[in-house]
Amino acid sequence: MGGEEIFIGRQPILDRGQQLVAYELLFRSGSKQNSANVQDDLAATASVINHAFAELGVEQALGPYKGFINCDESLLVSDILEVLPTDKIVLEVLETVEVTPQIVERCTELKARGFTIALDDFANYEDKFRPLLDLIEVVKVDLMLLDAAGLARTTRALKRWPTLKLLAEKVDSREQATHCLNLGYDLFQGYYFAKPVIIAGKKLGHSQLSLVRLLGLVLEDAETVALEGVFKHEPGLAMNLMRLTNSVATGVRIKVTSLRHAITVLGRRQLQRWLQLLLYTNPQGGNVASPLLQLAATRGRLMELLAAKLHPGRHDFEDHAFMTGIMSLMPTLIGAPLEEILRGINIAADVRDALEQSAGELGTLLQLSHALETGDGQACHDLCMQLPGVDHLTVNICLTQALAWASNIGKEQA
């Protein structure tokens, strides 16, 4: 990879039902960009894409979701696209690509091979886009470039192609998402769903309190019968525990048939992990593949894997890292302040410091996870410098493994 430091990031793409359907895969340089070096950067990025799919297994890590990849003109016409799985990848034609007959011909060829083609960072309709709009399937409309009138005008223009899927990108708030939903947009990209909406005075619900109580019992190493007793009073939570325990991601190779069996087979360390994940599921047994669960699971697993690189053999530190990642999104999940959520759990001091102040190694790992999610390569570089033995290759490998693990949650074993 020519020694170029490039980090793989990802941003979620949701459908109209607010379910995760794809990730945009980001390939960001960890060094400050040098305009004189653009061609070298492109070559390095192409090399990393090849490495990511050929060696790191990003295709498997995507699970049931598609991956969107930015393509400038050089990448669009390059042979590197030959290594990508056509059924899993959406090629985003960047706004900097001039719509020439050659580009239209290349996109037609790529579509015939099975790729989905998208137009990125769209703002204002011009006739020059017509040849592409006649053949592509997705248009990404950049909300940052448009006011309300401009968004309405652009949307009306694109509606002339009724088969086009409209994707609103850089969605920063639920209000924006709702507005675009009403305009007829099909897909939404951004972390609006992960931003906490804190309601003053809101208390934890009954099921959430039960889970917090269960976590406290596990952290205190309580007897199995005490844990089983709490679960028996929450049938929905018990059902979700059984579902998660029997999922591919646990690594359990036998079918778990009872609560006591689940608690025994998992062991306390795994049980603690799954109780944290259960917080993100519908207690009545709803969809466990929600975007917030996927984000929390990926974040927790990534931090756990990186913690193992920092302190090999320190399982307690790995557990704390996983808990920090999971707990970091609980204010969003519950709509209550972090201090209210943490009040009922006897968590370790380093976890609390990371959550409340982004302090310590766990705080640095949490910041690194954020930087990967937003595609901030420079921040990734700076944070890695604070983590001895962690470089961009380690981060990319761990992120790929975390994505694969999170994608498997909720899948039943064959």
- If you average pLDDT over each of 264-273, 309-318, 334-343, 403-412, which comes out highest? 309-318
CA distance 291 to 280: 10
Provide the whole-model pTM. Answer: 0.83
- What's residue 140's pLDDT? 95
Cβ proximity of 324 and 369 under 8 Å:
no
Query: Which band of pLDDT confidence, cut at 50, 70 and 90, is reported for residue 414?
Result: very low
Tell me if 20 sits within 8 A of 65, measured CB to CB: yes
Tokens matching residue 220: 């205190």
Domain boundaries, the chain: 6-193, 206-407
Could you give the CA distance from residue 230 to residue 217 in angstroms, rounded to a whole number? Answer: 10
Residue 55 confidence (pLDDT):
75
Phi, psi of 203 (to 5 degrees): -110, 160
Q: What is the pLDDT of residue 49?
A: 79
Question: Buried b / exposed e across 250-281, counting CB within 10 Å, b at 16+?
Answer: bebeeebeebeebbebbeeebbbbbbbbbbbb
Residue pLDDT, tens place only, 202-223:
566 666 677 777 777 777 777 8
pLDDT at 104: 93
Strands (E) across 60-132 are located at: 66-71, 89-93, 116-122
Residue 413 pLDDT more than 70? no
Residue 18 has pLDDT above 70, yes or no: yes
What pLDDT was estimated at residue 410? 46
d(CA 301, CA 324): 10
Q: What is the pLDDT of residues 71-119, one digit of tens each?
A: 888 888 888 888 788 988 999 998 888 899 999 999 999 999 999 999 9
Helices (H), 95-136: 101-113, 130-133
Distance, C-alpha 307 to centroid of its chain: 19
Give the model's pLDDT for residue 284: 47
Strand partners, 165: 138
* Structure tokens, 407: 């994608």
**35-59 pLDDT, tens per residue?**
334 455 566 567 777 777 877 788 7
State pLDDT tens for residues 345-391.
778 899 999 999 999 999 999 999 999 998 888 999 999 999 998 99
Percentage of the chain exceeding pLDDT 90: 37
Residue 68's pLDDT is 92
- Angle at which helices 224-232 and 235-245 cross, to 10°: 120
Task: Please identify, in words, the CATH class of the domain defined by 6-193.
Answer: alpha beta
CATH of domain 206-407: 1.10.3210.10
Is residue 181 within 8 Å of 16, Cβ to Cβ? yes
Q: What is the pLDDT of residue 85?
A: 87
Give the pLDDT of residue 229: 82
CB contact at 8 A, 353 and 316: no
φ, ψ dihedrals at 117, nearest 5°: -110, 135
93 forms beta bridges with 71, 119
Residues 147-171 have a mean pLDDT of: 93
Q: What's the residue count for the chain?
A: 414
In this prediction, residues 184-199 reach a mean pLDDT of 83
What is the mean pLDDT of the segment spanning 231-247? Answer: 75
- Short-list 29, 66, 94, CA closest to 382: 29
Q: What is the pLDDT of residues 125-144, one digit of tens each?
A: 888 889 999 999 999 999 99
Above 90 in pLDDT, residue 252?
no
